Structure 1
Amino acid sequence: MTGAVVGFAILVLGVFLLLGKVIRVKTSWVQKLFLPSSIIAGFIMLALGPEVLGAIAGLLGFDGLEEAGIFNSQMLEVWSSLPGLLISIVFATLFLGQQLPSFRRARDLAGPQLSFGIALGSGQYVIALLLTVAVLVPLFNATPIVGALLEIGFEGGHGTAAGMGPTLTELGFEDGGDLALGIATVGVVGGIMIGILLINWGVRTGRTRIITGSADLSIEEQKGLFREDEHHPAGELTSRPASVEPLSLHVAIVALSILLGWLLLQGLQLIEQAVWADTIEIFEFVPLFPLAMLGGVVVQLAAERMGAGPLIDHQIMLRIQGLALDFLIVSALATLSLTAIGANIGPFLILCLAGIVLTVGLLLLLAPRIIPDYWFERGIGDFGQSMGVTATGLILMRIVDPDAESPAFEAFGYKQLVFEPFFGGGLVTAASVPLIFEFGPYPLLIGMSVLFVVAIGLGLFFYGGAAKEARAKEKETAAA
């Protein structure tokens, strides 16, 4: 495959991403759903590809469209390989440019949030693995690995689902990546739609403390645009362009982080092969992206230690991350196999429904009992993240706390620093699939069940009293 083919395939992705943005700006019902332009573009490309247009053309007897739709097989091959590459960029940038707090500070600021977030992440494993051993394996003859897909799709989102695809395929679950992407799509759309419904319910019933009227955003925010009088810089220039373009510098830092992650993974695999590979192999199937995230942490710590921390701007890192994530989502959805989802429609629907019930239930029943103040504003962010991506949680928090009057954003941010290395694409997510493959579903089910109970227990023990007092004061205020 030539470089021209790769370059042209990426150009086509960019054109469809632009089309997705135009549709977001021009279509009101799309705005109400807050669908990202990348997801819109991905669905359009999926419809024009072999899974939809190609299948219809085949049924109608039209030649030339069955194999790849309006595209060609080489473009589809490029797009199918992009997610596994781009996900490492997304995770490598997570902590670059951020001041890493101590565990004590993160715990003090976001302890309740962390308990709630861990309960959501581990709970998704618990409910999915229980359904796997009780229903999906005996009734649908599913592989036990299906028990990991709910957390990969809901908590991890499209990026993690696409990044785990090669590992799932390597372990013999070829439909796993497509099912995870489908679950992630349900999570993102459901997270926004159910989140908006919950916010309006919270406003009407007095559970929100910042907003008391309509929960609707402005027209500009629904379109995903800024007003002319708003100024939001994309980042700070940390070096003079005459020396090196600041964007180039940051891309080079990301490259170093990914390379360090690769070296770490290679080292772990070599140790595994030398010590215990005859009995078990875990790191052989762990993807690169969680180690790229650790590489980013190492680079950030080293930069701070050498006094070079100001050279790394987190806003620029977010732009690089956003670019990689947008192209990742478009390419992943464009090559999504609807045939794989159709062949596993029973497990797919059961997992999605169970994940939605669990996530909504924990928000309404657990969050007000462990988050002392502004429980709805803070809980809705974790709800959104656990069903889609971090951006979903931020959108929902932005609706209920438009001017950041509550500690929701700060607590959510510090919670992420502790939470992200493990769930939603972190080490637990990456290791879950090879662990199930090697040992079956029960060890992970037991471990996640213990973690689920501990997270809830510690949250209620350390923060339940303060949360109860806060709820009592809210009721007194409302009655007065």
Structure 2
Amino acid sequence: MELTPEVVGFSLIILGVLLLIGKWLRVFTPFFQSFFIPSSMIAGLIALFLGPEVLGLTGVNLFDEGGLFPQAMVEVWSTLPGLLINVIFASLFLGMTFPSVKKMWEISGPQITFAHFLSWGLYVVGLLLAILVLTPVFDMSPAAGALLEISFVGGHGTAAGLTGTFEGVGFEEGRDIAIGLATVGVLSTVFIGMTLINWGARKGKTEIMKDPSELSEEKKRGIISKENQEDFPAGKQTTHSEFIETLTVHLGYIGLAIGLGWLMLEGLILVEEALWVEEIEIFTHLPLFPLAMIGAVIVQLLLGKFVKYNIVDRGVISRIQGLALDLLIVSAIGTLSLAVIGEYFLPFMIMSIAAITWNLLAFLFIAPRIMPDYWFERAIGDFGQAMGMSAAGLLLIKLADPESKSPAKEGFSYKQLLLDIFVGGGFVTAASVPLVVAFGPVITLITAAVIMTGWLLLGLFYFGKKERPSE
């Protein structure tokens, strides 16, 4: 089957059907409910199983060698993550009211510090593995040292969004390994997070707690019963639909943010080509999405300063972002190469265990010494995000502090503004692979270790020394 506009459209329709199947499987499967497995991940695993990597290898092929799906459709899916990640990052700050940096720091400073410590620590752990094991023993690219932070903190979106960067530095297999690591991270978050919450409740490590077993069946299934349903618009209507639809306007501003990001990226590439030596290429391999995030900040600041109407609504932007993330996850997992994972299975397992161990040890031994109050409620969110998803971090905070009596949830939200712009999908994450290739793993390791140590010292001797109100 040829790649035609009809195939592209039908590919999106099939993704929607797979997401519905994943949703209803979740509704009727207690295992998925108990461990809060996202419907998009279930749908992605279904697509992977029914596609060329599993069913296709058994000889059951309706179309070519694509399993139940035409090969052209699988090709469309494989390109979607790289496009959708720009929509997701362009949506991060549109429609938001930016508080002062001072206010953000006062409320979320301990969480910002701990989250940066986790992220930079994953670079240190990953680069040490690359220098000592991955490159000399398994002949992997030194760029593999950046995969732990890309996958676990960045998640599926960032891992898939860096496809072009991996290809640009000759590390094509990095894409599949990164998505596989992100999947391990998200699945591990649920199991380990629930264990930590139950442990925290029994040992008195938390000041506010709700037993996860007390959650209603409705909450676990992710649906709302008819008697509890309320009117919940996607967002505020900011334009008259007879002139232009509100959703259209919001898509336009997302497109404008991405366009500004593209112009900035092209400008950086021109500067790099004019001033830098040919052997060092960073901006050439930098993906678009972190610049799209900066473009969104610029658009939002300009709207706030020069447009008197509240034309961009955060609720509408969030719905667009959520749709893009669901489609990204199902398409990224559905096109995962199991052959690559199998080829690098042992290093893959080593990296997975190393990242999970780092995050868990940091949570248990560092977080209590950094957080001046509500350490468990604050740190459990950072732990969840460092395992692959911001949504997982918010879920764990909600379980530990369902009525938001602690500053954990507010601090988590403010933290994103001063975290995502650098790591977890920001400039450092996006540039990490080219940086390792350009300057080598040793220099990159030393730099990451210095920055990690700086965040640790700030946490221990600034926030850690503050009076603890709960004591």
TM-score normalized by the length of structure 1: 0.94
Aligned-partner residue type, residue 423 of structure 1? V
Question: 2:96 aligned with 1:98, yes or no?
Answer: yes
Shift of 1:229: 2.3
Tell me, yes or no, if the aligned pair for 2:212 and 2:399 is still in contact at 8 Å: no
Shift of 1:167: 1.0
Aligned-partner residue type, residue 229 of structure 1? N
Q: Give me the whole-angstrom Cα distance separating, in 2, the residues matched to 1:114 and 1:63.
A: 49
Q: Which residue does the alignment assign to 1:253?
A: 253
Question: 2:422 aligned with 1:412, yes or no?
Answer: no
Tell me, yes or no, if the aligned pair for 1:191 and 1:384 is still in contact at 8 Å: yes
Q: Provide the secondary structure at the position in 2 that maps to 1:396.
A: helix
Aligned-partner residue type, residue 330 of structure 1? V
- Deviation track 1:391-418 (CA, whole Å, cap 9, x = no partner) reads 0101111111112121111111111101
Aligned-partner residue type, residue 239 of structure 2? S
Query: Identity over aligned residues, as a percent?
Result: 50
Of 103, 107, 130 in structure 2, the residue corresponding to residue 109 of structure 1 is 107
Question: 2:351 aligned with 1:354, yes or no?
Answer: no
For residues 213 and 392 of structure 1, do their structure 2 counterparts lie closer, same or farther at Cα, with a shift above 3 Å needed?
closer
- Deviation track 1:48-78 (CA, whole Å, cap 9, x = no partner) reads 0111111122xxxx67667111111110111
Matches within 5 A, 1:266-277: 266-277=266-277
Of 25, 30, 48 in structure 2, the residue corresponding to residue 23 of structure 1 is 25
Tell me, yes or no, if the aligned pair for 1:33 and 1:193 is still in contact at 8 Å: yes
Aligned-partner residue type, residue 22 of structure 2? G
Q: Which residue does the alignment assign to 2:242?
A: 242
Q: Which residue does the alignment assign to 1:122?
A: 120
- Deviation track 1:72-122 (CA, whole Å, cap 9, x = no partner) reads 111011111111100000000000111112222211111111110000100
Q: Give me the whole-angstrom Cα distance separating, in 2, the residues matched to 1:359 and 1:384.
A: 9
Aligned-partner residue type, residue 377 of structure 1? E
Shift of 1:16: 0.5
Return 226-235 or 172-181, whichever deviates more. Answer: 226-235
Shift of 1:214: 5.0
Of 9, 12, 15 in structure 2, the residue corresponding to residue 13 of structure 1 is 15
Tell me, yes or no, if the aligned pair for 1:199 and 1:215 is still in contact at 8 Å: no
For residues 422 and 309 of structure 1, do their structure 2 counterparts lie closer, same or farther at Cα, with a shift above 3 Å needed?
farther
Number of equivalent positions:
467
Q: Which residue does the alignment assign to 1:477?
A: none
Q: Which residue does the alignment assign to 1:87?
A: 85
Q: Which residue does the alignment assign to 2:297?
A: 297
Tell me, yes or no, if the aligned pair for 1:300 and 1:309 is still in contact at 8 Å: no
Q: Which residue does the alignment assign to 1:172?
A: 170
For structure 2, which runs of at least 5 residues remain unmatched after alignment?
none
- Deviation track 1:186-225 (CA, whole Å, cap 9, x = no partner) reads 0001011100110011111112222264554221111112
Return 318-327 or 228-237, whichever deviates more. Answer: 228-237
Aligned-partner residue type, residue 353 of structure 1? I
Q: Give me the whole-angstrom Cα distance separating, in 1, the residues matched to 2:119 and 2:213.
A: 27
Tell me, yes or no, if the aligned pair for 1:55 and 1:66 is still in contact at 8 Å: no
Q: Which residue does the alignment assign to 1:2?
A: 4
Return 48-57 or 250-259, whichever deviates more. Answer: 48-57
Shift of 1:278: 2.4
Question: 2:461 aligned with 1:453, yes or no?
Answer: no
Aligned-partner residue type, residue 196 of structure 1? M
Q: Give me the whole-angstrom Cα distance separating, in 2, the residues matched to 1:315 and 1:367.
A: 33
Q: Which residue does the alignment assign to 2:193?
A: 195
Of 145, 151, 154 in structure 1, the residue corresponding to residue 152 of structure 2 is 154
Shift of 1:271: 1.0
- Deviation track 1:4-40 (CA, whole Å, cap 9, x = no partner) reads 1100111111100110001111111011111111110
Shift of 1:375: 1.0
Q: Give me the whole-angstrom Cα distance separating, in 2, the residues matched to 1:199 and 1:368.
A: 15
Q: Provide the secondary structure at the position in 1 that maps to 2:8.
A: helix
Return 220-229 or 145-154, whichever deviates more. Answer: 220-229
Matches within 5 A, 1:67-86: 67-86=65-84
Aligned-partner residue type, residue 261 of structure 2? G
Return 207-216 or 386-395, whichever deviates more. Answer: 207-216
Return 219-228 or 186-195, whichever deviates more. Answer: 219-228
Q: Give me the whole-angstrom Cα distance separating, in 2, the residues matched to 1:252 and 1:262.
A: 15
Aligned-partner residue type, residue 74 of structure 1? A
Q: Provide the secondary structure at the position in 2 that maps to 1:416.
A: helix
Tell me, yes or no, if the aligned pair for 1:53 and 1:65 is still in contact at 8 Å: no
Q: Give me the whole-angstrom Cα distance separating, in 2, the residues matched to 1:121 and 1:403.
A: 28
Q: Which residue does the alignment assign to 1:229?
A: 228
Matches within 5 A, 1:355-394: 355-394=355-394
Q: Provide the secondary structure at the position in 2 that maps to 1:270.
A: helix
Superposed CA RMSD in Å reads 1.5
Q: Give me the whole-angstrom Cα distance separating, in 2, the residues matched to 1:411 and 1:20.
A: 32
- Deviation track 1:435-471 (CA, whole Å, cap 9, x = no partner) reads 111111112111110111110100111111226x446
Aligned-partner residue type, residue 330 of structure 2? V
Q: Give me the whole-angstrom Cα distance separating, in 2, the residues matched to 1:274 and 1:24.
A: 53
Q: Which residue does the alignment assign to 2:423?
A: 423
Tell me, yes or no, if the aligned pair for 2:381 and 2:393 is still in contact at 8 Å: yes
Aligned-partner residue type, residue 409 of structure 1? K
Tell me, yes or no, if the aligned pair for 1:110 and 1:414 is still in contact at 8 Å: yes
Q: Give me the whole-angstrom Cα distance separating, in 2, the residues matched to 1:308 and 1:67.
A: 56
Q: Give me the whole-angstrom Cα distance separating, in 2, the residues matched to 1:12 and 1:63.
A: 17
Q: Provide the secondary structure at the position in 2 that maps to 1:52.
A: coil
Q: Give me the whole-angstrom Cα distance separating, in 1, the residues matched to 2:308 and 2:379.
A: 36
Aligned-partner residue type, residue 9 of structure 1? S
Q: Give me the whole-angstrom Cα distance separating, in 2, the residues matched to 1:78 and 1:92.
A: 22
Q: Provide the secondary structure at the position in 1 that maps to 2:243.
A: coil
Tell me, yes or no, if the aligned pair for 2:81 and 2:157 is still in contact at 8 Å: yes
Q: Provide the secondary structure at the position in 2 that maps to 1:310.
A: coil
Q: Provide the secondary structure at the position in 1 that maps to 2:310.
A: helix
Shift of 1:230: 4.7
Q: Give me the whole-angstrom Cα distance separating, in 2, the residues matched to 1:212 and 1:276.
A: 55
